[in-house]
Structures are given as structure tokens and as C-alpha cells.
Structure 1
Amino acid sequence: MKPTNMIVLMSDEHASNIMGCAGHPFIQTPNLDRLAAQGTRFDSAYTNAPICVPARASFATGKYGHQTGHWDNATPYTGEPKSWGHYLQENGNPVGSIGKLHYRNESDPVGLDFQQIPMHLVNGVGDVLGCVREPLPRRWKARDLADSAGPGETTYTNYDRNITEAACEWIAQRGQEGVPEKPWTVFISMVAPHFPLTAPQQFYDLYKDVDLKPSKPASENDHPWLKALRHCFVYDNFNDERTCAALTGYFGLVSFMDTNVGRILDAVDAAGLTETTRIVYVSDHGDNMGERGMWGKSNMYEEAAAVPMILSGPDVPAGHVCKTPVSLADVFPTVLDCAGLNAKDSELPGRSLIRIAAEADSADRVVFSEYHAAGAASGAFMIRKGKWKYIYYVGMEPQLFDLEADPEEVNDLGTTPTHQAVREELHAELLRICDPVEVDRQAKADQAAIISANGGVEAVLERGGFGATPAPGANADFVASKAEQ
């Protein structure tokens, strides 16, 4: 396999099934559909942590959060352990980023030759409120999501336009320079469809006449871990009108993002780089979209934990759908494979997507995700193997779903006697990856140290949360919180 250039395209909070190529009945994503037609779509792809900062740390390092101590939105990637960018730099391959990174700051040695208009943690510290887990606070800033939903422009949509413009210019310059001595890699990272769910008017209007509402309501009989999550994030101001506006905004932002992806794909074609460049499209995690009374991410249901993933370019099967489970951790070996390199690190759990796409589908491959951040009463761990999804909550009953028979995940088999053997098999797979009880203990100990370094629990609650990380040049808007008694 000949080494080629690589473009890694990442969106933020794009649920895996909200693409035309994934079978969605009305979403307009012609450019992602075009990319999928040119390459391979992975229809069982997952984040390794359904929240931005630890997901992006796994993406950078190719390792799980519990391996590296990346637990939440206050434990950013700082350059340790080595990223795929470090390996490229050591080999002399040009590598850089344009757009959102969500690492600690711009000066840490994260393995990038350049960072154009990067977004990093607020003050290099991030969301310390998410470290407060015993008891969970009430996050009142979450109410902004309903209030802000609708048509319009935000600092995020302006930021994404700037990212797209910078990416197209960078690609055009590469085309003018001709064949590089060694293939380059660029990470282009956009924010949409991340909230606020305010979509530019022309994209909002695409869905304004669609009757939009969640298909799965919240239930008083739901799992206690999920009840605690919903209680932490205060979304009590959603009514039918605000829900419809939020979903219209979300779908509009997906199509807005798709248009920006199209501009980048057109730039690759115009620069004459199509035959010498592989492209990966992925999102850092999904979005609940109001299902089960939840918005944002932060849980292991498909809406939040599953992500879109598409690979195209030389040696990639065209028009192919791969059903082998994959995750963000697989991007690390993919980037190196594309450059003709191998990290040779026994602690890397991933494999090259280029190799996986060329093989027969595997029902035995295991992928893993974990969550220890805002709203988590205890550590949540997910195992996906074949048709089964197993979710283990420390100190609580597990959940089990048969994704073939029950793709909407409404029939929880977590305690049924007839599925005990399946649960035992999947729990054994979890124990081969980590000890969930010990990982939960370590996460909470690290978070307690962060809280202490920031003045203690009362000071953190008084400062509160700020919702989404602001775009470069904008300021975070904190709203105080309080602990539940």
C-alpha cells in the first residue's frame, strides 16, 4: 500500500444516523453521501468517551481515557502520551491542524507543526464543575439550550466558516506546491452541529416544515444512572415548540456542516489531490437530540455514543458499508498506516481502518467506551461486540441491548435471567480491558484533586458552569450551580 496524504475531518456532536447515506429519511447531507459513495462507511463506529475532551484525547493518543487519565472536560490532552502527530513529526511528515482541538492550550507539544485558529479549554482549565460528582450538582446553564434554539448566526457558525475558508486555502497551497517529499496530514475540525442549536436561516428553513419530535420519551422507570444524569442537566424549560426548534436547529446545523465539508472536498479535487489523498470523516461523539428526555451527549445510548465514520481514497473499497465495530482509537493507526508508519506500541487497542475496510466483517471485534464526566453518578463502561451492547455502571445494575432486534434500545435485557450468559461473556470482555471499580475510584480521586486545586467544592459550585467552550475571541459565560442535598 503506497503512502498518501491524509485529511482527517471531524465534526462535533454529529449522531451516527443523521446522514442520507446512513438511511435517514429526510436529512440533506449530499457531500457526506458523496464521500461515502467514494469510499467505505463504518456503520458501527463509536466514541471512546461521549464528551469532547476525553474523546479527543483518545483520538489523539489512540488509547482509552483510563489508560491516560483523561476523564472529563477538565483533563485535557497536553502532549503525553505521544499522539499520532508525534510519530509523523519524528518521521519528517508535515502535520498540522485547522480549527477545534480542545486540548489544554496552543503551546503544549501535542505533535502538530502548526495550529490554525485553534479552540482550546477555557483558561487552559476547562469545566471543573464536571468533576463534582458526589453529590451531583444541578447544571442550570443547560437551560440555555432550549432558549437559544432557532434560526440565526452564532460565534460557532462564524468560526466554522473561518475554519472552512482556512482549510480550502491550505489545500489549494498544497496543490500548487506539487508532490511533497513525504506525505502530509492535516486535521480539520469543525464545531457544528454542537449546540447552541441555532442554525443559519437557509439551513434552518430546510426543516422548518417537518414535524420534529423525539420518538422515545423519558421514563420514570428508567435506569437510576440515567435519572441522575437528567437531574443534573436541567432541561426543564423544553416544551413542544422549543423541542421542535431545537431539532430543526440541529438538523440545520448538520446540513450547514455538510456544506462546509463539500467545500473542502471540492478544494481537494480542484487542487488535483484526490488520487494522492485519503480522507477520514468522523465526529467526536453523538447527540441525544431530546430522546429519553436528554440533550447533548454523556451516555452510552446509540444517539450519543455512536459516531459517523467514513474513509475514502486510494486502496479503500468504494460504495462499501463495513459492519465491523470500530472506534476513535482506530484513527491513530489509520493515520500512521496512511503514512507508511507503525507505532509499535502494545498498549494501542486500535487497528487501521484501511485494513479493517478491506477485510470481511467481523462479529467478534470488541470496541469500548467509558464515561466519568458531568452527570455521571458512577463510572459507565460500554462493550460493543457483534449485535450486543453491554453497559456496566459501577454500583448499579447493568444494561444489555440486542441492537439487531432492538435498534432503538428500548428493551433492556440487563437483568433478564435468560441473558445471564451473554452478560457474563461481555463483562469478561470488559475485565480484559480494565477493572471498572478501580478505574472509577481513580477517576474520582483525580477529579477530587482538580477540585481542591480550584478552591474546593463550594468555590467550584459558586463559579458554576459555562455550557459550551466559546469560539476563539469569545468569552465563557458562567452560571453558578449548587449541590443536591
Structure 2
Amino acid sequence: MSPNLLILMSDQHVPYACGAYGSDIARTPNLDALATRGTVFDGAYCNSPICVPSRASMATGRFVHRTGNADNASPYLGSEAPSWGHRAASAGIPTTTIGKLHYRSAQDDTGFPDQRRPLHVRDGKGDLFHALREAQPPAVQLRGALVDTVVGDSDYIRFDRAVAAEAVEWLEEKASGEGPWLGKVSFVTPHYPFTVPQEFLDLYPLELLPMPRRNDPLEWDNHPAVEIYRRGCGLNEPLSRKETLRAVQSYYGLVSFMDAQVGLVLDALEATGQAENTIVLYVSDHGELLGTNGLWFKGTMGEGSVRIPAMLAGPGVPAGQRCATNVSLVDVFPTVIDALNLDPRPEDEDLPGRSLLTIANEPSDSERTVFSEYHSANSHTGSFMIRRGPWKYVRYTGFEERLYNLETDPWEDNDLAEDPAYASKLEECRNAMLEICDPDLVDERIRAEQRRRVEAYGGVDAVLKRPLMAYSPANSS
């Protein structure tokens, strides 16, 4: 019999804030224990560094320029492409999701009929503010979210506690039935608001926290696309040292809170006797810039934004292993097919991903290419990235391209795109990206569709009249 598959997901967790990825600051004992008994992917990426597109890409195994889920106002409906939920359900495998999905509605046929405590986009529409692009005013509510650090419980804290409790109850139900089953448990932390219970803030005394890298304005990355993002978030004036450290403290506190909820779920898996026959995959939907270059949140092609943690454990997964092959969230779809022994279909042949189970059991592939793109808030131009072995290439429509060797320069201090010594590598990376898409054509098509949706809503002024929020509200009841 096939094993069960449990997918654990967080929101906005950067791997630098995890002990399993070498952090000597983050307190993440449950994720670290999961990593010890499985395989950690050191080069894992999201396919679009913002919630709705990233989660649509993960569900369908396809890039968002293919499905059309390009911004936070174009949520997954289920009709763009089948999800791995559709495939499991059609095979008769019970499939349950608990927590954040960020699709349009629980009523849509997204392949997940058993949704418990689902969190979808606001009012079933999302935030069309994200489609305004160059017409978008600065999102001052984002800066406010950074400086508004609070001790206590937020709707997100209450929501995640409810999600963990629901997951424990669900696992207890599954213990008395027959497998295999497929489940996804998705938390909203460490996504802001920066409201954190005292016990988790206490893990991170302010005086012991370092300032972020290149946080001094004299050291900022001033590439035009980065500058547009900085202004769009209201961050062109730097935070004070105190504001910065409090935001760092809050973020790490939320990471530890999320890890504690993961621990409750993993403990229940063990207590119900299902751990030995369950493959567990942990991922996040995107990272967190965490003050680097004075930037926060996500939405850029910086490593803090596009890198994610990814770890796999359970039957058939090498234990105590680190995998250097580049992977991304489009690999989740074929992983589900593989883990549950589902029959392949002709329409799977053009999927860009591969099973993480297969990748974990093969020698590292130094040439594998992964891809990410961004077409949403705080950007005037399409951003496209590939990671090919140690090389990272970033293409912006209308702005200068970038090239980094992450093996020797993991913090992206040295852009090599203008260095003649790397001209051939630059050309190789350009061609590798063109094998995936033509950035100029994709940008033109997506921006035209965004303009159409804005006009259909009543125009820019009508969009701006809608109350702006820094994050999707959650109902913990």
C-alpha cells in the first residue's frame, strides 16, 4: 500500500530563519528534527514571490504565466489547470486541506472538496491594487505593518492555533481508517502582522539580535526595479535602528510560533501511529527580505524573497541528507503523483517539475534550472529569474539584467552582468530563460490583462476607493 502524504506549509518563511538551514538565531526545534530524519533541499525556490500566484503554481505544477494567476487579484479557480487535488480525488484518495489556500472560494472545484478552516482571498476577489503596477501609489500600510509591533495574539495567531488543533483532530480521525490519505496543513505565520505572544518574543532578546545585511542606506541595492519596490512599500526612508530590531524580533518570534504549531501536528502524527507510513513535506510559499537592503516582505528577485525552505521525510526518503539540486514549488505536483503511486497522464508530459522523492534519491544535478517570475504589487516591470546550478540570472523588462554566482556570493553582493569575463555565462543564462518563456512577451500579455481587469472594475480610482489592507484577514472561529 502507498504511504500517506502530509504537506505542511507556512507563509513567508525564509530558510535563513531556520536552524536546519544553519541559522544560529532561529529557534525551530520541530522543523530541525524533521530535517534530521529526512532530506533538506538547499536550493529551493518559489515560482512567484507572493501568496496567490505562488500557491496557484504549487497546486497546478505550472508557471503562473501559463495559468494566468499572476497577481494577488487573480486567485486559482480550478479551471486554469488541474490541481494535484483533482488527481488524488479522481483516484479515490481522501484529500483534506486545513488552513490557508488563498484560492478564490471553497465553492470552486479546485480539487479540494474537504476544506477545513479555509482561508481564501478577500471577498473572493483579492486585492486589485496588486494589478495597478505603475499606477499604484505607495502602499504605506506596509510600512505601518512593520513598525506596529505588538505583544499578544492577532487573528493570525488565533487562526494558526485553530488550524493546528483541527489538524490534530483530523489525524486522530485518520488513525482508525484505511490509507493512503493526502493532507495539506497550511499556516499563515510567520507572515505579518507583527503581533507575537510574549513567550516567543522572549526567545529573541533585542540586544542579541544583529542588524540586517546592507541595512544602511549607503549600502542599499539601488537597481531601478529594487528602488521602485522600495518606494512602493513606503520604505524609501529607512526604519530606525529600534524599529528594525523590533521587526526582526517579531519575525523570528512568529517563526518560532509557527514551528510550535508544526510540532503539534507532527506529534499527533506520531501519537496516532501514522508517522512510519507517512511522507512529510514542509515548504513555504515564499521568503521574507527581513531588512536586507532596507527591504521587507517579498516581491523582488532577491534571495530572501524567492528562496524557501523545503524538506522531505518518511518512507523512501534518505535521512540526514542535504540535496544540492535546485528545486521549486512546481515539483510538488509530480511529488504527489509519485508518492501516492498515481498513474501518469498524457497532460503531465509538459509539466516543468520533477518528483522531489526522485530528486532526493539521485546524485545532485549541478545543472538543473528552476524559474520564478513576479507581476504584482510594487513593481512597474515584469521580473524573471532562473537559478541554474550556482548561477542566478535575473531579467527585468526595461531594466538592466543581473547575474550572480551564489556559490561564491550567497548574499548577492557582486553583480557580474557587466563583467566581460562572464559574458558567455550571461548568454547561456539568457538562452536558458528563453527556453522557458520570452520575458518581454509575457510581461506585455500579463500587463494587458491586468489593465483589462482594472478597467472592468471601474478604473484606477475605483480600485483605490476599496479599503487597502496589508494582509488578508483570517477568521479563527
Find the counterpart in structure 2 of residue 17 from structure 1.
Answer: 16
1:35-434 matches, within 5 Å, as 35-80=34-79, 81-177=81-177, 179-180=178-179, 183-209=180-206, 210-217=208-215, 218=217, 219=219, 222-235=222-235, 236=237, 238-341=239-342, 342-344=344-346, 345-434=348-437
Q: Distance in 2 between matches of 1:273 and 1:364?
A: 37
Once the two structures are TM-superposed, the CA of residue 454 in structure 1 deviates from its matched residue by 1.4
- CA distance in structure 2 between the aligned counterparts of 1:240 and 1:176, rounded to whole angstroms: 54
Runs of 4+ in 1 over 3 A off after TM superposition: 218-221
C-alpha contact 2:134 2:379 (8 A) present in aligned 1: no
Partner of 1:28, secondary structure, is: coil
Quick one: structure 1 residues 221 and 353, their matched pair in 2 at CA, closer, same or farther if it must change by over 3 Å? closer
Q: Give SS of 2:189's match.
A: coil
Question: Alignment partner of 1:138: what SS?
Answer: coil
Deviates further, 48-57 or 453-462 = 453-462
Structure 1 regions of 5+ residues with no counterpart?
475-485
Q: Deviation of residue 112 (structure 1)? A: 1.0
Distance 2:182 2:391 in 1: 35
Unmatched runs of 5 consecutive residues or more in structure 2: none
Show the counterpart of 1:482: none
SS in 2 for 1:186: strand
| Contact 1:337 1:352 (C-alpha < 8 Å) held by counterparts | yes
CA distance in structure 1 between the aligned counterparts of 2:209 and 2:266, rounded to whole angstroms? 32
TM-score (norm 2): 0.96
Partner Cα distance (1:117, 1:343) in 2: 32
Aligned-pair CA distance for 1:147:
3.0
Distance 2:225 2:187 in 1: 31
Give deviations 1:297-344, integer Å, cap 9, x for gaps: 001111110000000010000000000000000011101111101344
Which stretch shifts more, 368-377 or 449-458? Answer: 449-458
Rounded to whole Å, the distance in 2 between the matches of 1:248 and 1:363 is 36
Give, in whole Å, the separation in 1 of the partners of 2:69 and 2:321: 34
- Residues 193 and 254, structure 1, Cα contact 8 Å, conserved in 2: yes
Tell me which residue corresponds to 1:472: 475
Q: Counterpart amino acid of 2:213?
A: S
Distance 2:395 2:150 in 1: 37
Q: Which amino acid aligns with 2:377?
A: A
Alignment length (residue pairs):
470
Do the aligned partners of 1:87 and 1:343 also contact (CA within 8 Å) in 2? no
My pick for the range that moved more, 218-227 or 302-311, is 218-227
Letter in 1 for 2:459: G
CA distance in 2, matches of 1:123, 1:208: 39
C-alpha RMSD of matched pairs (Å): 1.4
Aligned equivalents of 1:241 and 1:150: distance in 2? 14
Compared with structure 1, are the counterparts of its residues 337 and 221 closer, same or farther at alpha carbon in structure 2 (3 Å cutoff)? closer
Percent identity among equivalent residues? 44
CA distance in 1, matches of 2:62, 2:126: 21
Q: How does 1:22-33 map to 2 (within 5 A)?
A: 22-33=21-32
CA distance in structure 2 between the aligned counterparts of 1:286 and 1:448, rounded to whole angstroms: 28
Which residue identity does 1:160 align to in structure 2?
A: D
Residue type of the partner of 2:185?
A: I
Give the whole-Å Cα distance in 2 for the aligned partners of 1:75 and 1:11: 21
Normalising by structure 1, what TM-score?
A: 0.95
Task: After TM superposition, give the deviation of residue 221 of structure 1 in Å.
Answer: 6.0
SS of residue matched to 1:78: coil
CA drift at 1:151: 2.4
Report the 3-state secondary structure (helix = DSSP H, G, I; strand = E; otherwise coil) of the residue aligned with 1:244: helix
2:462 is paired with a residue whose SS is: helix
